[in-house]
């Protein structure tokens, strides 16, 4: 299943850390890449460093305008919003069939048009919380937990440990 | 199941938004409250506004030192860290039995001692991503999705909608 995350409404500086978290969650939970509106060197640098050290494939792409991108998407468009329908009621439909899934994640204000263009406006709970948390849980459920099991081909690899930190650095071998 | 989130290593200003997201995820996904080290009026204000408008119960408490708090916790201590053991391998044990669950979520650097004090060092994936995403998925799986179904007694309530925003304001009735 091909999944791309579209991050809307990024405000440079102010949203830098949150957008970076959104991108890293997208990567860790199984999306192939993230598209964001506008450029932010901070976000780009952080994501590139993670991909370089911990592996890919994962890309970060900047676009100018989200609406044409959404209109041009071949596949389903899922907009995560606290105002949407409960995730559980549409997850089966979203998973079914062919084509990629574009997961749209907004910052503070999302243009009204996005609600109309999305095939699904989906709530990860109808309470205010976090686009980072919403994306993580949505992807976790979409991939039925398997998104997290993806193997990355990076230089660094964690050896899970019950008590400490063990990291294998393949660059040193 | 009683769950409290402990947020370690909050740096005022720099971590304000991320810590606020951690708190709102804790609330939305079923924790009874969040304890943080240090005070931050920005975080406190944001969380209080959400509780006031969208309902509780949910508390935010500030403490000075995390180690005595962890030592004094009656129940299990689960530290979320990318270096830990895969969530799936210990979730059954964590859920079993009585007592509360303290979920410890760090910022950049977590004192070594925390790894030793935790009953479980748990990885929500062994890849770098986000403490917000990790907490959301951990709580979602811990409550088997039911954390999100919790009803809040607030003034505002969303009426889930496939196309727009519908909010019921009980204060206006």
In chain B the beta strands, taken as DSSP E runs, fall at 3-7, 33-37, 59-63, 75-86, 100-105, 120-123, 156-158, 167-169
- Separation CA B169–CA B173 (nearest Å): 7
For chain A, how many structural domains are there in total? Answer: 1
H-type alpha helices, B34-157: 41-54, 66-72, 87-95, 112-117, 131-142
The ranges of chain B with pLDDT < 50 are none
pLDDT of residue A108: 74
**Candidate from A124, A133, A158 with C-beta closest to B135:** A133
Residue A83 is part of which domain span?
3-172
Q: Between chains, do A28 and B127 touch, taking CB under 8 Å as contact?
A: yes
- Separation CA B90–CA B99 (nearest Å): 16
Per-residue pLDDT tens listing for chain A (173 residues): 899 999 998 998 889 999 999 999 999 999 999 999 999 999 999 999 999 999 999 999 999 999 999 999 999 999 999 999 999 999 999 999 788 999 999 987 899 999 999 999 999 999 999 999 999 999 999 999 888 888 898 999 999 999 999 999 988 65
Domain with residue A105: its CATH number is 3.40.1280.10
pLDDT of residue B99: 87
Q: Between chains, do B127 and A25 touch, taking CB under 8 Å as contact?
A: no
CB contact at 8 A, A130 and B155: no
Tokens at residue B8, please? 């370690």
pLDDT of residue A40: 95
CB contact at 8 A, A23 and B129: no
Residue B49 sits at the chain A interface (C-beta within 8 Å): no
Whole-model pTM? 0.97
- Give the relative orientation of helices A16-28 and B131-142 as an angle to the nearest 10 degrees: 50
Residue A105 sits at the chain B interface (C-beta within 8 Å): no
Give the count of alpha carbons within 13 A of A80, CB side only: 31
Question: Mind listing the pLDDT tens digit for each residue in B27-50?
Answer: 999 999 999 999 999 999 999 999
Residue A47 sits at the chain B interface (C-beta within 8 Å): no
Structural Rg of chain B based on CA atoms = 16
Strands A167-169 and A156-158: antiparallel
Most B CBs within 10 A among A42, A162, A163, hence the mutation to make, goes to A162
pLDDT of residue B8: 95
Q: What is the ipTM of this complex?
A: 0.96
Min Cα–Cα distance to chain A from B34, Å = 14
CB contact at 8 A, A78 and A101: yes
Q: What angle do CA B44, B48, B52 make, to 5 degrees?
A: 175
pLDDT of residue B173: 57
């Amino acid at each position: 299943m091909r999944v791309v995350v579209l991050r809307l409404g990024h405000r440079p500086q102010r949203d830098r850390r949150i957008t970076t978290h959104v991108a890293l969650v997208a990567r860790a939970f199984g999306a192939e890449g993230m598209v964001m509106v506008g450029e932010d060197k901070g976000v780009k640098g952080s994501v590139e460093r993670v991909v370089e050290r911990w592996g890919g494939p994962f890309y970060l792409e900047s676009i100018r305008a989200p609406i044409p991108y959404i209109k041009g998407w071949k596949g389903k468009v899922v907009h995560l919003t606290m105002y949407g329908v409960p995730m559980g009621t549409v997850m089966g439909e979203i998973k079914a069939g062919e084509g990629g899934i574009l997961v749209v994640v907004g910052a503070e204000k999302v243009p009204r048009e996005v609600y109309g263009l999305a095939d699904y406006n989906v709530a990860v709970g109808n309470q205010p919380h976090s686009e980072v948390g919403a994306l993580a849980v949505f992807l976790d459920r979409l991939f039925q937990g398997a998104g997290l099991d993806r193997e990355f081909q990076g230089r660094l690899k964690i050896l899970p440990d019950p008590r400490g930190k063990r990291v294998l650095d393949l660059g040193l071998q």
